[in-house]
Each structure stands twice: as structure tokens, then as C-alpha cells.
Amino acid sequence: MDQGGNANGIGDYVNQCDVAGVPSVTMCNNDIKGIDDALKRIEAGSIVPHVMLYRVVKPGMDVPNYNSSPFIASRDYYDLLIPHVHTRVKEHRDKVWIQLGNELDKNRSEWVAEWAMESQLLWNALGYKICVINWSTGEPEPEHWRKPMMLDMLRLASVNHDKFAIGLHEYSLDDNSIIAGLPYLVGRFADMFAACEENYIGHPSVLITEFGWEQGSIPPQLGAEADVRHIAESLYGKYPTLLGAGLWYLGTGWQGIADKVNHLIVPVTQQALNYTAPIQVDPDPTQPLPNPDETFEEFFWRRSIEEQTVSLNPDALLQTAIDKAGYNIVEGEFWDAYKNSLHAAQAGEHLETGDRLVWLTPVPTLGDPWLPPITISDPYSDILHGLIIAAPFSRDFRLTSGFDEWRSYANNKHEGGDWDILTVAVDSTEPVLCGIKGRVVQPMPLLAGYGEHVVVEGEHHGTLIRVWYGHMDAIYVNIGDEVEVGTQLGEIGDTGGNFAEHIHINLQVPGHGLSGYVVPDVVDPEPYVSMEPQIVGMYDMGVYFLPLSATGLLDKYGDIVILENNWGQGDERQQLQSVPTIDGVLSFVTKNAQYERRLVTSGWIDLELDTSPDGIHYYEVDGHWLPRYMRLGETFARTETVRHYRKSDCVKVNEITWSSLLKFASYHQTYTVPNSGLQIAQVIELRWLLNGQIEEYYFCAKNLGLIAWKNRAGKHSWAKEIIIQGQQDNNQMEVISCMQ
């Protein structure tokens, strides 16, 4: 629906559904009739999961700019759309889906998929739920769903099904029947689900954002009611991740269709109130699909555990074999297919030892004899079965020295493995990434030959494991820190010995590993270390330049950081301040009275003005300073024009254009500030490179801003004290009179 049209009765539909505990489905263009009714019920305490979708309908907003890169196009589309999103939707961004795009070009499906993923990264990071693409009825073609980028998008949608949905239009294009063209028009969503299943992807959330017969007409009322009931009960309702369909249309235009569809509100309300859900064919979308790498033995072992009903048939082939081997029947015979090969299977346990085996045999074609059964034992008896230690790097790397290779210490055998990135750099700053979820613990024993090293303790199916990372140049975590896969542990290095930079990894399994090595209870880590570089997610750079509250909302003033320096000019009192504008948020890094002003938008962080180069000048900057979102290790190439002015009269002194690099070098869960010893959470390191030289290092903390800085000449400053906002007066920014 939109402003105008005929939405009379939509509020009654929502309210009656809410009272009955039935989710309503409302999809609105520009207006929020129906959505607002549902939000008011929720604000009054309702817990009914109403489905609400909001779409901005204005010229130029249906499609993103195909001629731009997907990344830039996603940012530009956000900037275009967000000013027009209704305030109520923004207030309840975690409950209302926002439609992005309408009837996008199927022939650009790979570009569209990448744009959708970039949009997900941006909008979800800001707390919004989005519904993307919204293909036209009869689109896309089956091959489009099965292309690499589109499959990646479906994977992303599957694991983010609560905030990232796929939109589709389904019309029968026949005002006499909703099933005309089934399943190629209405029901076409099923081909997307088929593509998911073929590639072991869970079903994503789907919204049929336009559903109906033709855009200007519907069948006679009784026929329309029957069609809606039929599709709900026989098709859409069977798929729990198909969240709802918006019946076209209660808005203006389209041959006055609003008045025709309005007559369906009351009967559709009654259908919703009396609806009995059909048996659903879709599994729980939060559960993973079967592992595509599951072996024959693993598959039938798992299936034998799932089959617990005992059905005795002494003459059956499998049961006869189980009895003959001296085993007890523990389940009935079952048939299942592994990679299209159908087998009969049945499990038994030994009468004395309790050991379990599974007997199975291929199901023959009609008339052919049964083959003698074979047995399989527990493929999971290896306590490390299925263990994967994620790659230590986010770029290509190789094994340089394996387990048990000769060494001159202990039992003359290498107790782990060595890995190195593929680079010619002599002194790399590549971060070492954690491969398991766990906690940083004290290394035992302490080994000086390991140099700077970290031990992460975790578990695998209840078995304690420890992963050692040795020879790093720097450590970014502390003992006791909880770490995740992908957490930066430190920097690749060569400490502890005379050798080239690499990372040494031990896999220690207390009570189960091998003895005689310099570290006890080790096993060969190579089979468990993934050689697929980790895909490190995007970081929001904006939170390091904006004062945010504990709930993530924008504050006007942040905490005060007292910075000490080594050049004798006294302490600097730094505070982040912010001012929202129509173009974005202005971030002020105030330094006593002087300040840097940046504009933080959805796509960029742009340094606009700096009044602090010295006491008598300020400068303005043209050009992007930093992307809003960056991957760890990413380097941003930029060209800036800098103009210096006198503060006394605002007369330009000089102008220079230069190209430089800004690198997102590292991320620290906890950072110990040099000299002061302050420990500060969530710190990034940025490096400014000019002509290939690192000119300056910036260490910025979330919600605090700069906490440490140094330059190539040896000057450096550091946070020595943090003062909670409100305990002292806020910084007052200087006024340059000629700029007013």
C-alpha cells in the first residue's frame, strides 16, 4: 500500500491477528499504514512476530548504479535511500524490513549479488533488516541462482536469515487463476531453494514483496479468496523461511485495483485467524545442512544413531548377520541414500564388550540378489575427528617445515609445523590469526626458543586442546583473553632464533598426544590446519571517531583522554564530539581547544578541516580520507588536496596535492598503551605511508579516538589517563573569527 489508495480495514486486520497471536504481514510503499498499527501493538507489549516491510518509492530509487562498483553502488544507494525512510521505521529498524532495489536486472546477477552482499554489510552493521533484489515475476533464470557470487549471497542470507532476506515478485499473469504457470511464475521461489539444497546451503528468508494475478485486476471475490487460501496452504505455508507475501495492491493507480483488493481484507483476516499450518518441508533454517564432505562411513554411522526403533525380523539379511556375529539388535533396519546410492543399514552392539557396528548392503535393482553385508565401525573414535584449525593468515601461505623433521633439541624431532606467507618482504607485519575459539593461557613449559608466543586453549567435542603460536614479533592479546576464530594474536616474526619469519604452530592434546618432544602431548598439526586463508570481516572505522554510548547510540560528547608526549609541550586533553547533519555525522577530535573535523557517512570518513597543525594555521582537505568499512590488512590509496590558511585572516598560504596510503594494520582486543600501561579495549592501528615510507602510526580506540601516536622522526604521544564524560567540563572548540 502507499499514501492514497484504499487501505481501510488494514488496522483491524493487524489488531485482530495480534489479539489471536497470529503474525500479520504488511508491506508499505512510503506510508506506514499497517506497519504503524503493528508497531503500536509491539510497543504496548505484544510479542507476536509481525512481518513488516517498508519500501521507498521515488524516481531513481528502484535500481542501484550498475555502472559503479558494487561497493560504491551500495554506499551511494544507502545515501540516496536513507533520508526518505520513515522515522518510525528507523526507530524500529530491528523489526521492520527495508526493501532495497526493485526488479533488478537478472542479466547482471553476479553484480547484483555482490551489491546485495555489500549492502548487507552496511545496513546490518547499522542495525537495519533488509530485503534485497526483488526480482520481477518469472525471474531470474535457474542458472542465475547457481553462479558463484549468487551462491555466496545465498550462503550469507542463510546464516543471517533474521536480518537479510531475498525479495521476489510472483504473479500468475492470469486474472482467472493463481496457479496459471505454476511453478514457473507463482512458486518460482522453489528453484532458489533447490539451488541452495544442491549446494548444501540452508534456506534463506524470503519475502514475496508483490503477489497477485495481474497488476490491474483480480478474479471475482470468491475465486480470489480461494486462490489465496490455496497458495497459503499448499505452497507458501510449507516453507518456514518464506515469511510472507504482500497481496498487490492497496495503493493508488493500476486501474483502481486498491478497491478490488480491499474487499479481500476481511476474508483474508478470517483465513489468518483460522489457519492451520501445513506440514513444513523445510528444516529449521538455523540448523546446518548435511556436510557435503561427510564420508560414506560417517553418513551411515550418523544415520544409525538417529534410527532408534527396534524392529525384529529374524529372516532379514542384516539381522541374520548381526546375530551370527554375536551382536544385539539396537535398531530396526532402515534404508537411506548416500550420494544417490541406496543402502539398507542396521546397527548392533556386542553382547560382551558393548562395541557398536553398523551392517549395510546396497539395495539391488528388482530381481537382482542381495550382496553380503559389510560392517563399519565408529569413524569418530579419533578424538580429533573433524577438528579444523582455521588458517593463521588471511592471505596465501605455505608449509615450510613439517612435524617430526630433524631438530637439534629434545628427541631431534620438530614438535609442530612452520607456515609462512607467500611474500618477499623481509620484515612483514602480517597479523597472525587465531584458529580456534578459546582462551589465552600461560604457556607450559616456558620456552625461550619460542620467542614471543601465545597459547590458546579450547576444546573439541569435550577434549581439551591447546594451539601454540610461536616466534611472533609482537603479541596483541593477554593471558585470560577470550578469543575467537580470526582474532589477531600478534604479528608474524622471527623471535627466539636465527631464522626467517614464519609462524610455528603446535597442537597439544593433554593426555592423548605424543611424548618425548620439547612440548609434551603434541600431535602433528598439519592435517588439522586449514590452508584456506581466513576471510576476515569488515570493520566499521566510524566507531573509532565517534562517541557512542554503551548501547551503540550516538553521544554528543565522549570520554576525555589525557595524552602525554615526548617533546615537552605539555599534556593534550582530547575528546570526541559529534554533530549529526543531513549529510552524515560530523566528528570533532578536539585537542584542548583545537580540533580536527571529519564527516562520517555510510561509505567514507573524510577529514575536512584541521585547526591543529600549529598555533597560527589551519588547513582544509579535499578527497576521501578513509573508507567507512575496511578489512584487516587493507591499504587505501588516496589523493588529497590540502590548503593551508592563516587563522588571523583566513588567507590561503599554500596548496598541495599528494597521493599517499593509509593501512589498517592491526586490531587489538586489548591494547597496553606504551609508557602508561593503560589497558584499553578494541584498538585499531592505522599507518600513513608516503612515498613508500611509514610516516605516522595512529592507535585509535572504539568510542575514544586517538590513544597513541608516533612518527618516523621519533615523536610520540600516549594516553596516560581517561576521564569519564561528565566528571570534568567538555572541551570548548576554538572560534576562528574570519571563518564565521
Query: Around Cβ 201, how many Cβ atoms within 10 Å?
Result: 21
| 310 pLDDT more than 50 | no
Give the pLDDT score at 426. Answer: 65
C-alpha cell at 156: 550469507
> Pairing mode, if any, of strands 334-338 and 482-483?
unpaired
pTM of the model: 0.45
How big is the chain, counted in residues? 740
Determine the 3-state secondary structure of 27 from DSSP: strand
What is the CATH code of the structural domain delimited by 397-523? 2.70.70.10
Cα–Cα distance for residue pair 395/421, rounded to 1 Å = 7
Band of pLDDT at residue 292, cut at 50, 70 and 90: low
Cα–Cα distance for residue pair 214/630, rounded to 1 Å = 45
Band of pLDDT at residue 338, cut at 50, 70 and 90: confident
Cα–Cα distance for residue pair 635/613, rounded to 1 Å = 25
Beta bridge partners, 618, equal 645
The more confident residue out of 104 and 251 is 104
Q: What does the pLDDT look like over 359-370, one tens digit per residue?
A: 888 888 767 788
Specify burial of residue 739 (Cβ count, 10 A radius: 0-12, 13-18, 19+). exposed
Task: Give the relative orientation of helices 10-20 and 35-43 as an angle to the nearest 10 degrees.
Answer: 40
Beta bridge partners, 610, equal 596, 619
| 132 pLDDT more than 90 | yes
Average pLDDT over every residue of 251-260? 86
The CATH number corresponding to 539-739 among 3.30.420, 2.10.260, 2.40.360, 1.10.10 equals: 2.40.360
Beta bridge partners, 318, equal none
Q: Are the C-beta atoms of residues 610 and 618 closer than 8 Å to each other?
A: yes
Determine the 3-state secondary structure of 576 from DSSP: strand
Give the pLDDT score at 340. Answer: 65
Average pLDDT over every residue of 310-338? 75
**Could you tell me which of 80, 265, 665, 201 has the C-alpha nearest to residue 428?**
665
Measured CA to CA in angstroms, residue 169 lies from 96, 242, 272, 280 at distances of 19, 13, 21, 22
Cα–Cα distance for residue pair 456/506, rounded to 1 Å = 10
Q: What does the pLDDT look like over 11-31, one tens digit per residue?
A: 999 999 999 999 999 999 999
Give the pLDDT score at 309. Answer: 47
CB contact burial 46-66 (16+ within 10 A = b; e otherwise): bebebbbbbbbbeeebebbee
Q: What does the pLDDT look like over 528-559, one tens digit per residue?
A: 998 878 766 668 898 899 987 654 567 789 99
Cα–Cα distance for residue pair 207/130, rounded to 1 Å = 11
> Pairing mode, if any, of strands 25-29 and 51-55?
parallel
**Could you tell me which of 214, 110, 105 has the C-alpha nearest to residue 170?**
214
Query: Domain locations in the chain?
Result: 52-264, 296-376, 397-523, 539-739
CB under 8 Å to 477, separation ≥6 — which residues?
440, 454, 483, 487, 488, 489, 490, 668, 669, 670
Q: Is the peptide bond before 140 cis (omega within 30 degrees of 0)?
A: yes
HEC secondary structure over 632-671: CCCEEEEEEEEEEEECCCCCEEEEEEEEEEEEEEEEEEEE
Beta bridge partners, 454, equal 469
Which helix (H) or strand (E) segment is 366 a member of?
A: none
**Could you tell me which of 43, 29, 34 has the C-alpha nearest to residue 15?**
34
Cα–Cα distance for residue pair 540/543, rounded to 1 Å = 6
